[in-house]
Amino acid sequence: MTQNKQHHHEAQKSDRRKGSISLIGAVAMGTGVMIGAGIFALTGQIAELAGPLFPLSFIAGAMVTALAAYSYIKMSNAWPSSGGIAMILQKAYGPGTIAASASLLMALSMVINESLVARTFATYALRPFGLEENGLLLSAGALGLIVFAYVVNVAGNKSVSGLSLVMSAIKIGGIALFAVAAIWASGFSSGAFASNPTIGGIDAFIASIAFSILAFKGFTTITNSGGEIEDPHRNVGRTIMISIAICVVTYLLVAVAVGSSLSIDQIVQARDYSLAAAAEPALGDAGFYFTVVIAIAATSSGLIASVFAVSRMLTMLTEMKMIPHSHFGMTGPLQHHLLVYTVVVAGALAVLFDLSRIASLGAFFYLVMDMLVHWGVYRHLREEIGAKGTVLLAALAADAIVLGAFTWTKLQSDAAIVAYAAAGIAVVFAGEHLFLRRAAQDREAAGQDREDQETE
């Protein structure tokens, strides 16, 4: 027993020595990933569902996210690694269909988010010219940013990390400055807050939380850096919770700033560029253009970092033989192939769907994946990692309630996107099942051939 304790103590000391990112650095990276384009694209959609109380949706989203973070923190504390969600799912379910499918759903939700970011970039970039409703230009602008993100990623990791750090500082500072200035100029008794503080229904408000959760879901990427953070057994969890706290304050400032400048009808009408719309009456032309510049900076840096993260995650899944892969005649390293696939899928989604549908599709995929994480940890690992079953079940229940309300609301307003999401999830699970079964059969056949050759 003494030897085991000594070995554990030495392992923790080794973790501290190996870590290259401090707690402050990890928080800076985490908030940089989380405070991205989602706040520019999702504020209007949240207000459309929640009404004048839409700032409360961000608080509720933060509470659900903090509850959900419990599973990821406990797993990262036990097994800090760069495997992230794929590691969690594989330990919970083993290398089978559920782990592979849920990991792929997470990767797809990130790719979907990239198309959301790209469309948001194009919307804000075209807004000064009054062309944000031109579908062709929106698609062209979104594709242009995706191609740019690909070029930066091909240039190497140093280009990605250097540009992301600078852009993150600009966007976080710029968003906070916009929010404080807009609130100062408009006060709290105008815009949406001058109307009766009621909502269309509790189901619509709960459904809005699905979009709020999307604005916080970047915290999951922090688990991918578990092996690189100093003293990860303690600092991964601290990084996640501090990042969520910083984000909810920032999002509340933005929500109040938008609500103090615009009525709910105006926010809904300008839902794809609500921050720019709110800046103009509160701060004039200078505020409007300032917000557009910050939006462009946020979307650009967010997409570049996301493309890198997704290609890295898909590369890991491919190397783990959890997803199929074809070179399609391409040469070079595996991650470059996955980088190409990532930008092709993101580009296709950016052309085929509008912002509302893209966000909805991402919410469905992410919530299903998140529920599978909580259930897997509760069912198979809670005793091993010392997790409280009541907290895990509460996180699972919160996701289920939000997903149910979101599905019900979308069935009434856009049943097609529910069908697309259900079909997509079904295809992922069926495809993974067939792929893994065929891979097992191939391994078995290869083993039998070796045995036959040895017998001869």
CB atoms within 10 A of CB 284: 12
Task: Say whether pLDDT at 160 is over 60.
Answer: no
Residue listed under structure tokens 């105006």: 266
Q: Is 336 exposed, middle or buried (0-12, 13-18, 19+ CB in 10 A)?
A: middle
- Average pLDDT (61-81) is 89
Q: Are 44 and 274 in contact (CB under 8 A)?
A: yes
d(CA 123, CA 132): 5
CATH architecture assignment, domain 19-439: Up-down Bundle (1.20)
Orientation angle between helical segments 84-93 and 274-319, nearest 10 degrees: 50
**Token pair for residue 375?**
């259930």
**Angle (nearest 5°) at CA 301 between 299 and 305:** 115
Give 8's pLDDT tier (boundaries 50, 70, 90).
very low
pLDDT, position 169: 72
Dihedral sign for Cα atoms in the order 372, 341, 299, 425: negative
Single-letter amino acid, residue 295:
A
pLDDT, position 200: 60
331: left (phi over 0), alpha (psi -120 to 50) or beta: beta
Q: What are phi and psi of 388, to 5 degrees?
A: -85, 125
Give 16's pLDDT tier (boundaries 50, 70, 90).
very low
Give 1's pLDDT tier (boundaries 50, 70, 90).
very low
Longest dimension (CA), the chain: 88
pLDDT, position 375: 97
Orientation angle between helical segments 54-78 and 84-93, nearest 10 degrees: 70
pLDDT, position 131: 93
Least confident piece of the model among 104-113, 323-332, 447-456: 447-456
Q: 352 or 15, which is more confident?
A: 352
d(CA 378, CA 397): 12
d(CA 15, CA 228): 9
Q: Are 20 and 228 in contact (CB under 8 A)?
A: yes
**Angle (nearest 5°) at CA 342 between 341 and 343:** 95
Q: Average pLDDT of the chain? A: 84
The pTM (predicted TM-score) of the whole model is 0.87
Q: Is 447 exposed, middle or buried (0-12, 13-18, 19+ CB in 10 A)?
A: exposed
308-322 pLDDT per residue, tens: 878 878 888 888 888
- Average pLDDT (255-281) is 89
Domains in the chain: boundaries: 19-439
In terms of residues, how long is the chain? 456
Task: Say whether pLDDT at 11 is over 60.
Answer: no
Query: Of 83, 77, 87, which is closest to residue 11 (Cα–Cα)?
Result: 77
Query: Of 424, 369, 421, 399, which is closest to residue 100 (Cα–Cα)?
Result: 369
pLDDT, position 436: 93
- Average pLDDT (40-56) is 89
d(CA 147, CA 136): 16
Give 140's pLDDT tier (boundaries 50, 70, 90).
very high
The SS3 of residue 366 is helix
pLDDT, position 125: 94
d(CA 189, CA 280): 18
Q: 443 or 265, which is more confident?
A: 265
pLDDT, position 157: 54
Give 2's pLDDT tier (boundaries 50, 70, 90).
very low
The SS3 of residue 187 is coil
197-223 pLDDT per residue, tens: 555 689 999 999 999 999 898 888 777
Give 447's pLDDT tier (boundaries 50, 70, 90).
confident
- Average pLDDT (233-260) is 89
- Average pLDDT (43-68) is 93
d(CA 296, CA 318): 33
- Average pLDDT (126-131) is 93
DSSP 125-156: HHGGGT-TT-HHHHHHHHHHHHHHHHHHHHT-
pLDDT, position 165: 62
pLDDT, position 323: 86
Residue listed under structure tokens 């009766």: 196
- Average pLDDT (292-317) is 83
pLDDT, position 4: 41
Q: 286 or 429, which is more confident?
A: 429
